[in-house]
Amino acid sequence: MLKNDLFLRALKGETVDRPPVWMMRQAGRYLPEFIEIRKKYDFFTRCQTPELASEITVQPIRRYGMDAAILFSDILVIPQAMNIEVQMKPNFGPYLPNPIQSQEAVDNVIVPDVAIELDYVMQAITMTKEKLNNEVPLIGFAGSPWTILCYCVQGQGSKTFDKAKEFCFTQPLAAHQLLQKITDTTIAYLKAKVKAGVNAVQVFDSWGGMLSPTDYQEFSWKYIQQIIDALKDEAPVIVFGKGCWFALGDMAKSGAAALGVDWTCSPKNARYLTGGNITLQGNFDPARLLSPPSEIKKMVTQMINEFGKDRYIANLGHGILPNIPLENAKAFIDAVKEYKSPV
Q: What is the mean pLDDT of the chain?
A: 98
Question: Per the confidence metrics, is the pTM higher than 0.85?
Answer: yes
67 is catalytic: no
Residue numbers belonging to the annotated binding site: 25-29, 44, 74, 151, 206, 318
pLDDT tens-digit series, residues 192-216? 999 999 999 999 999 999 999 999 9
Average pLDDT over residues 140-157: 98
Q: Is the pLDDT of residue 49 over 90?
A: yes
| Structural domains of the chain, ranges and CATH numbers in brackets | 6-337 (3.20.20.210)
pLDDT score at 161: 98
Q: Is 271 annotated in the active site?
A: no
Is 62 one of the annotated active-site residues of the chain?
no
What pLDDT, on a 0 to 100 scale, did the predictor assign at position 342?
84
Q: Looking at the predicted structure, is the pLDDT value of residue 287 above 90?
A: yes
Active-site position among 9, 25, 95, 310:
25
pLDDT at 58: 98
In the predicted structure, residue 145 carries a pLDDT above the cut 80? yes
Active-site position among 18, 30, 64, 151: 151
Q: Tens digit of pLDDT for each residue in 249-265?
A: 999 999 999 999 999 99
> Can you tell me the mean pLDDT for 216-222?
98
Known active-site residue 250:
no
SS3 for the chain is CCCCCHHHHHHHCCCCCCCCECCCCCCCCCCHHHHHHHHHCCHHHHHHCHHHHHHHHHHHHHHHCCCCEECCCCCCHHHHHCCCCCEEECCCEEECCCCCCCHHHHHCCCCCCHHHHCHHHHHHHHHHHHHHCCCCCEEEEEECHHHHHHHHHHCECCCCCHHHHHHHHHCHHHHHHHHHHHHHHHHHHHHHHHHHCCCEEEEEECCHHHCCHHHHHHHHHHHHHHHHHHHCCCCCEEEEECCCHHHHHHHHCCCCCEEEECCCCCHHHHHHHHCCCCEEEEEECHHHHHCCHHHHHHHHHHHHHHHCCCCEEEEECCCCCCCCCHHHHHHHHHHHHCCCCCC
Give the residue with greater pLDDT, 342 vs 268: 268
Give me the mean pLDDT over the 303-318 stretch.
Answer: 98
Residue ranges for the known binding site for substrate are 25-29, 44, 74, 151, 206, 318
